[in-house]
Amino acid sequence: MSRQSQYHQYLSKQRADKACEFLLENSNFINWYHDSDSHQLAIFGAMGSGKSSAMAFLADELVRRSKHQLPQPKVCFYYCRDEETGETIYILSALILSLLTQLPDLKKPFFQWYKEAQTCVDFDPATDSKTLREFLCKVLEAMLRPVFMVIDGLDKCSAESRSNLLTILQKLSQRVLGLKVILSSRAQEEISEQFHDTAKIEMITDAHRDGIIIEKLVEKKLFDLSPDVKSLVIDRMTGLAKGSVIWTRMTIELIETRNIGAFEPMKTFLEETSLPEQLSEIYSTVLSRCSSRILRTWTLPVQLSSFSPSQIGV
């Protein structure tokens, strides 16, 4: 299983689906899904607002819906975790590999395209974004079915890589019928401006959604608490969370680590707990650095460049 799939499974297990269902009811999502002329949808939210979990939910929902359609659409996803995994060549390589895995019959023609490209250039085709774009376009055109791409974390990409990726996706949408893309990012002005004509969904703070997430985490992490202490934690944290899933997880993990179980100690702990400014930023930076070490093994272009007929089942 690829690192991307492992991370997707992690998000799928951790998330609270009911906290993501509002996306399916959003008119911009409905129009994007049903309108053949609508190719891209952008989801924006603050740091730690649960965008990655929401994107995993949408990917799984698209897979669920696709099972009842003929020809069956294919869904591929990619999570940018830092500037390295946010490089265009990594993203394109992962999307190509995902599609080839889902449709093995395309492996042989892809291998032929790849070998032809190797003879035409004096560099490795898997390290060139333009060549990878053409590879991806050829795969998409050969599929003869709708394709959904879910790409999370555009804000983790460098400005150059992000601009390059968006240009490529725009060109692919013009050439490939049935291609639809969802992208997510932090709500940064320089990024929002690149989606001037794109339908958007804003993940704004919602206390009801916070409560759903907190309740699931409490039942998962603090399941041995008495009902009255659970209610205390859920009620107090729902009023404090302000949409920060990062803070929510940290606080519940701290309760678990300190083994706080009685009502009065819990009440005291929660009364002293607040949402410090910059907490989400600090945690995200630490998490990103840890993830970078783990996810640096995603040498997808290397996988492509080392393809042989036996490796891809030809």
Domain with residues 3-205+295-305, CATH architecture: 3-Layer(aba) Sandwich (3.40)
pLDDT score, position 309? 39
Beta strands 74-79; 40-45: pairing state? unpaired
Between 28-32, 194-198, 267-271, 273-277, the lowest mean confidence (pLDDT) is in 273-277
Under a CB-based contact definition with an 8 Å cutoff, are residues 155 and 186 in contact?
Answer: yes
For the CA atoms of the chain, what is the radius of gyration? 21
Domain range list for the chain: 3-205+295-305, 207-271
How far apart (Å, rounded) are the C-alpha atoms in residues 56 and 167? 24
Cα(168)–Cα(93) distance, rounded to whole angstroms? 13
Measured CA to CA, the distance from residue 275 to residue 277 in angstroms comes to 6
pLDDT the model gives residue 52:
97
How much is the mean pLDDT over the chain? Answer: 88
Asked whether 37 and 180 are in contact (CB, 8 A), the reply is no
pLDDT tens-place string over residues 111-162: 898 888 888 888 888 888 999 999 999 999 999 899 999 999 999 999 999 9
What's the pTM value of the predicted model, to 2 decimals?
Answer: 0.86
Pairing of strands 147-152, 74-79: parallel
pLDDT tens, position by position, 61-70: 999 999 989 9
Looking at residue 310, its pLDDT comes to 38
Q: Say if residue 65 is exposed, middle or buried (CB neighbours under 10 Å; 0-12, 13-18, 19+).
A: middle
